């Protein structure tokens, strides 16, 4: 037995986190995390720097990504233990970032036509190395807060740019099957991220897990900062029923999501035990 903990869902400045990949590794170490996965939205740009730092400071680093997909609902799919140099994966992610660029342009046009004054430059200067390919709604929300359109960035989502709100613009996404297939082609495990974002209901979760198993996914997140204990327990019960692994992490974004603490999941109540990570390693060697 060990009481080591892991965090297999972390964002850096390569997408919408506020710590650089190197800082993220250091912060994970400071917080007692033994194995950490970098899982930026639609990019592996931070992976190399993250793994290098993990190696230096002596924690286990996992190469990952979080891809946005769409079928009946929007879903986020984590790829863990990917070969982040895989050419097909890299070019698929490039395609998705081009869609992000096009969406960002459209969203700024729409906002500026409707009484807001938000420039491309203001958005991309929200982070170092920012471009319209690697920024998004989080950064637009920050500008809206800075310019006094909303009291805090979270209000921008609530009133203007959250899903289904008047200034929300969707972007091209791939199917979950395609994303999972590509992750596995690149040697990774395909994991449904935070299923709580799709449903809170046990019966629907059961059907969803059956569906992703059919699509060839390897597992689902059971541990997540947004999951209640009840939802966590349901996931722990239903995942094995469908021969799916369970994983998890905080979904830490640094100051962009100040309530989410690194290493902490299930509404602040739990951490992710090292055994979760060991099970993934075992699965990669021997299958379910
Ligand atoms: P984008 O990928 O540019 O469409 O932006 C999506 C990101 O915005 C997510 O990954 C979250 O980090 C953040 N986000 C989405 N909805 C909300 C919300 N309601 N409040 C705060 N942040 C949000
Ligand atoms: Fe995010
Ligand atoms: Fe997500
Ligand atoms: Zn995430």
Same-domain check for residues 25 and 51: yes
> Which atom of ligand 1 has the smallest separation from the CA of 139?
3
Give pLDDT tens digits for 187-207.
999 999 999 999 999 999 999
Taking residues 230-236, report their average pLDDT: 98
138 Cβ inside 6 Å of ligand 1: yes
Looking at 108, 128, 161, the residue that finishes a domain is: 161
- Residue 169 within a domain: no
Taking residues 242-249, report their average pLDDT: 98
> Which atom of ligand 1 has the smallest separation from the CA of 137?
3
**Domain count along the chain:** 2
- Among protein residues, the one with the nearest Cα to ligand 1's atom 4 is 137
Same-domain check for residues 121 and 241: no
The CATH number of residue 33's host domain is 3.20.20.140
What is the CA(75)–ligand 1 centre distance, in A? 13
- Among protein residues, the one with the nearest Cα to ligand 1's atom 21 is 154
What is the CA(14)–ligand 4 centre distance, in A? 12
Taking residues 28-46, report their average pLDDT: 98
Closest CA to 136 of 276, 260, 16, 31: 16
Residues 6+ apart with CB under 8 A from 213: 242, 243, 244
137 Cβ inside 6 Å of ligand 1: yes
Taking residues 45-74, report their average pLDDT: 97
Confidence of residue 239 (pLDDT cuts 50, 70, 90): very high
- Residue 168 within a domain: no
Same-domain check for residues 268 and 181: yes
- Residue 170 within a domain: no
What is the CA(250)–ligand 4 centre distance, in A? 8
Residue 51's domain comprises 5-86+175-285
Read off the pTM: 0.95
């Amino acid at each position: 037995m060990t009481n080591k903990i892991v965090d297999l869902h972390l964002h850096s400045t390569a997408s919408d986190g506020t710590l650089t990949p190197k800082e993220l590794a250091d912060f994970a170490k400071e917080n007692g995390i033994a194995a950490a996965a970098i899982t930026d939205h639609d990019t592996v740009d931070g992976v190399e720097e993250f793994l290098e730092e993990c190696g230096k400071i002596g924690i286990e680093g996992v190469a990952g990504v979080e891809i946005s997909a769409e079928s009946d609902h929007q879903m986020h799919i984590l790829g863990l233990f990917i070969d982040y140099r895989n050419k097909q994966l890299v070019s698929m992610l490039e395609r998705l970032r081009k869609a992000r660029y096009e969406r960002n342009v459209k969203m700024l046009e729409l906002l500026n036509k409707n009484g807001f004054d938000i420039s491309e430059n203001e958005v991309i200067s929200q982070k170092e190395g920012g471009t319209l390919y690697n920024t998004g709604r989080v950064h637009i929300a920050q500008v809206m807060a800075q310019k006094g359109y909303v009291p805090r960035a979270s209000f921008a989502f609530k009133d203007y740019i959250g899903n289904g709100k008047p200034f929300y613009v969707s972007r091209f996404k791939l199917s979950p099957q395609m994303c999972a297939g590509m992750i596995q082609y690149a040697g990774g495990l395909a994991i449904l991220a935070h299923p709580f974002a799709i449903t809170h209901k046990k019966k629907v979760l059961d059907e969803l897990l059956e569906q992703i198993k059919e699509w060839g996914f390897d597992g689902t997140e059971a541990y997540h900062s947004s999951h209640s204990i009840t939802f966590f327990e349901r996931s722990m019960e239903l995942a094995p029923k469908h021969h799916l692994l369970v994983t998890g992490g905080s979904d830490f974004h640094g100051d962009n999501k100040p309530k989410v603490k690194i290493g902490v999941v299930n509404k602040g109540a739990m951490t992710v035990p090292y055994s979760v990570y060991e099970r993934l390693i075992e699965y990669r060697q021997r299958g379910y």
